[in-house]
Structure 1
Amino acid sequence: MRTIFTIGFAATMVATVATAEDVLPSSVMYEDGAVRAALTDTAGSAENGRKVFASRKLGNCLACHANEDLAEQSFHGQVGPPLNGVAERWSEAELRGIVSNSKMMFEGTIMPAFYKDTGYTRPLKKFDGKSILSAQQVEDVVAYLMTLNEI
């Protein structure tokens, strides 16, 4: 049973193909690093965003960021800023821009662009032309980040 759940969860979370309603990575409009328009027609799910955030195979956000909301997860990073209270520091549009392509907001950052599909070298051919996260996963992570107020 656990294997079936794991396979189903992985299949759902790994989908990186854009649907007809999604804004393609090359069409994302940045304004001073922020992305005002949602990338999908479906509202982000904070619950799914928390899973993507915590996943070491998707967002891998904990590799660089500490987050008290995920205290049950081990090995929080210290490279990026702690994300406690991030919803009080950044707007939804700014967070969408940061997750999509942080380099549009922070020159020289080492944070990867999670919604970009060109302009980089991928070590494995099977990832060429694909973004790290799907448009929906970006919206889900943003919805989750919007729940992180000071604890």
Structure 2
Amino acid sequence: MTPLVLATLAAAAPVAAQPYVVESDAIPRPLTGQAGDPARGRALMEDRQRSLCSLCHAGPFAPPHQQGTLAPDLQGIGARLSEGQLRLRVVDIKRLVPDSIMPSYARTEGFARVATAWQGKPVLTAQGIEDVIAYLATLRD
């Protein structure tokens, strides 16, 4: 393969999650070596099929008539929680709230009654999680 093809393939490959450390109620360091992109994070938040966030949460993202009311409203969440706190809640909320109905977006093991299509797979990639965190951190009002 040519160097251009290899570079293109490498750029398109998903970024692998790095091991993370939980400190208190947060994962202080990103799961990837790349910064999250708030625009991609917003698009994920609005995509009910990929992130599932708006099935339960409301917030300043479209479409408002399809947002859920089962979980806290995310308006202003970036002012209330640090990026590390947000990251732990998205990666594995069950570590903080064992009975939560929110999925653990990065965990792939230790669950019961998982649909075949989701077995062994995270809900979002590590970069997808970082994108969502970057967007949530912008929600300060």
TM-score computed with the length of structure 1 as normaliser: 0.78
Is residue 129 of structure 1 aligned with residue 120 of structure 2?
yes
Aligned pairs, number: 129
Q: CA deviation at 1:89?
A: 0.7
Is residue 59 of structure 1 aligned with residue 51 of structure 2?
yes
Matches of 1:47 and 1:63, distance apart in 2: 19
> Helix, strand or coil: the match of 1:146?
helix
Structure 2 equivalent of residue 109 of structure 1: 100
| Displaced runs of 4 or more, over 6 A | none
Q: Kindly name which structure, 1 or 2, has the bigger radius of gyration based on alpha carbons.
A: 2
Q: Return the letter of the residue paired with 1:49.
A: G
Q: CA deviation at 1:75?
A: 1.7
Structure 2 equivalent of residue 45 of structure 1: 37
Q: Return the letter of the residue paired with 2:102.
A: M
**Is contact 1:33–1:102 with CA below 8 Å preserved after alignment?**
no
> Larger deviation: 34-43 or 105-114?
105-114
Q: CA deviation at 1:127?
A: 3.0
> Larger deviation: 71-80 or 141-150?
71-80
Structure 1 equivalent of residue 22 of structure 2: 30
TM-score computed with the length of structure 2 as normaliser: 0.83
> Helix, strand or coil: the match of 2:65?
coil
Instruction: Return 5+ residue gaps in structure 2 as ranges.
Output: 1-11
Q: CA deviation at 1:105?
A: 2.2
Instruction: Return 5+ residue gaps in structure 1 as ranges.
Output: 1-11
Percent of aligned pairs sharing the same letter: 33
Superposition RMSD on alpha carbons, in Å?
1.9
